[in-house]
Amino acid sequence: MMKEKLAAHQTLIEALKCASKADLFATMWQPENEPSEQTVTFGEFFDLAESYAALYQARGLVKGDTIILVLPQGIDLLAAFVGALILGAVPTILAYPTFKVEPAKYRFGLLGVSRNLRARLTVIDKDFPDSLADCVQGIETVVLDSASLPANHSKFSWAEPQPDDIAFIQHSAGTTGLQKGVALSHRAVLNQLVRLSEALRLQSEDRIISWLPLYHDMGLIACFILPLVAHLHVVMQSPTDWVLWPASFLRLISEYRGTLCWLPNFSYQFMARRVSEDDRQGLDLTSLRAAINCSEPIRAHSMEEFYRAYRPYGLARAALQSSYAMAENTFAVTQSVLDGRAPLTVYVDRETVGGSQPLTMVDSDHPGAQSFVSSGLCLEQHRIRIVDDDGRDLPDATVGEVLIQSDSLFSGYYNRPDLTEEALRAGWYWTKDRGFKIGKDLFVLGRKDDLIIIGGKNIYPIDIEEIVWTDPHIREGRVVAFGVENPDLGTQELFIVAEVAEESDLELSQSIQRAIRKNISNEIGIAPRIVELVPPKWIVKSTAGKPARSTTREKFFIQFPELDLNRSKQEGFADGR
């Protein structure tokens, strides 16, 4: 059994040493290269990783030192990471700059995380932009090229860490300046992999397919560390290649007979809508036993749209599963049960979602029904509480903050004891996510910090944003909703920033704004104060590819200071929208 195999190890190094060197480990699909696919066995991979370890050692890196990796997604990035583990150093992967990330936000984030980590060594490649090099702050920077790695090195002596030593650092998506480096011990990571393998009913024949970035937990843990430690084959591509040709991910599942993948919610609709009928021809998705939606919240209609699109190509409804995960818990907290059924979906009277009383369950055809998909059940050795603002436990079907206790929790935020003390209290991690339980099932609604409160009614931005992007003139997934305190009314008002699909759509601004206002009023019963239409690529996105609400809000008020209700009151601006 995979669970027993993983539980036999005390450190990641012990697990790596047990891999069969002849077995396939990783295949990287890179269409710009010839050949387009690079595959390495565990033996070949460890030889490359040892070369990186020798390079680091020659540069003075020693056990316990922190090392920053800012490299394109590929086999070299994987080996650079494991090379640090072999040496006993503490690696962390940061996002490589792409066309998807706003330069100013990327610069700010890179500078913040570099300062916080105080790394001994930073590794970049020769194509890393010179304009950003000053943002990577380590004692020494290594620029990799074909001649960087030692051509020959004697058999490297692998480190022998202790179970509670920090193995590596990963970063939470969306943290300001990316300063919350999540320190994970060997023990916590292995505990997570044991619990996750049991929930997934993991088998040695499983093959993971992924386009996810390695600088966030979904890509790093589920799609790199899990196959590395469980000795499975993983097939990867870069997020950029997936965005440019979303059919390629489905092709890789079909060609390699992939069995497991993890996906954010938006990608289900993206692949349902952006893959042409021609590109679907010849797909065979019958091997896929779990495509796991790992978002907060999970949307039933997104998964249903994906299912309808790919059912003709062998996709089973039971393959669409769910999870709740975060960097602070290494990865998964919950996982839906893989027993041939889809995750539980419940329907709630929308009017009761924002209150403090238990939710009212209704039938799916109720006029005010809002669906919620379960993120699954707790992994073994994991516990969840739902509490109010005073930390008191709430009954089933009542919305509150999600608290976690497990044997996979992080050691703390690296070099940030202040943040650690705030988040970890009496052995419980306070997630700042809002959700509710029904029996053993957890349902997650969204971030507590993003909550909009209008006239005492709680509104989740994602509910507003999904209504807005149903308008054909609006770019799907490129909407941000937020609340702004109105001092005259003593409550927040709703502001919406939405990207039009084409810049020419701005000529229709008034009619589009009227339609959006009508839709929101009909669905939510709230009239927005501001609906601002902006051109494509205006909204700021995080390195995870999600709209960055707080940063977009800041950008909005820099560009439109007259719309800041507090400032307009002080300076006499008029609100004309």
Residue 306 Cα distances to 93, 270, 279, angstroms:
31, 9, 15
Please check whether residues 502 and 375 belong to one and the same domain.
no
Alpha helix (H) residue ranges in 18-130: 42-58, 75-87, 103-117
Question: With 70 as the cut, is the pLDDT of residue 489 above it?
Answer: yes
**496: domain CATH number?**
3.30.300.30
Beta bridge partners of 181: 171
138-142, 268-272, 481-485: segment of lowest average pLDDT:
138-142
**Span of 166-180, 306-320, 385-399 with lowest mean pLDDT:** 166-180
Q: Are residues 306 and 429 in the same domain?
A: yes
Residue 109: give its domain's CATH number: 3.40.50.12780
The parent domain of residue 349 ranges over 258-444
| pLDDT (average), residues 195-213 | 97
Report if residue 475 sits inside a domain: yes
| Residue 75: partners with Cβ closer than 8 Å, 6 or more residues away | 26, 28, 38, 40, 45, 48
**Helices 265-274 & 247-256 angle (0-180, nearest 10):** 100
Mean pLDDT of 343-357: 87
What is the side-by-side order of every strand in the sheet holding 377-378? 37-41, 24-29, 233-237, 207-210, 260-263, 290-293, 320-325, 332-335, 377-378
Domains: count for the chain: 3
Q: How confident is the model at residue 368, as a pLDDT?
A: 84
Residues forming a β-bridge with 530: 495
Confidence of residue 574 (pLDDT cuts 50, 70, 90): very low
Judge if 120 and 161 occupy the same domain.
yes
Q: Are residues 420 and 461 in the same domain?
A: no
Q: What 3 state SS string does 431-455 have?
A: EEEEEEEECCEEEEEEEHHHCEEEC
Of the candidates 471, 463, 445, which has an alpha carbon nearest to the alpha carbon of residue 533?
471
* CA angle (402, 427, 336) in 5-degree steps: 40
What's residue 566's pLDDT? 64
Indicate whether 329 pLDDT > 50: yes
Q: Is the predicted pLDDT of residue 173 greater than 90, yes or no?
A: no
> Do 439 and 476 have their domain in common?
no
Which tens digit of pLDDT belongs to each residue from 403-435?
999 999 999 999 999 999 999 999 999 999 999
Return the pLDDT at 205: 96
Q: Are residues 405 and 527 in the same domain?
A: no
Does residue 438 lie within any of the structural domains? yes
Q: Supply angle C-alpha 353, 354, 356, rounded to 5.
A: 100
Instruction: Say if 382 falls within a structural domain.
Output: yes
Question: Do 233 and 184 share a structural domain?
Answer: yes
DSSP conformation letters of 185-226: EHHHHHHHHHHHHHHHT--TT-EEEE---TTSHIIIIIIIIH
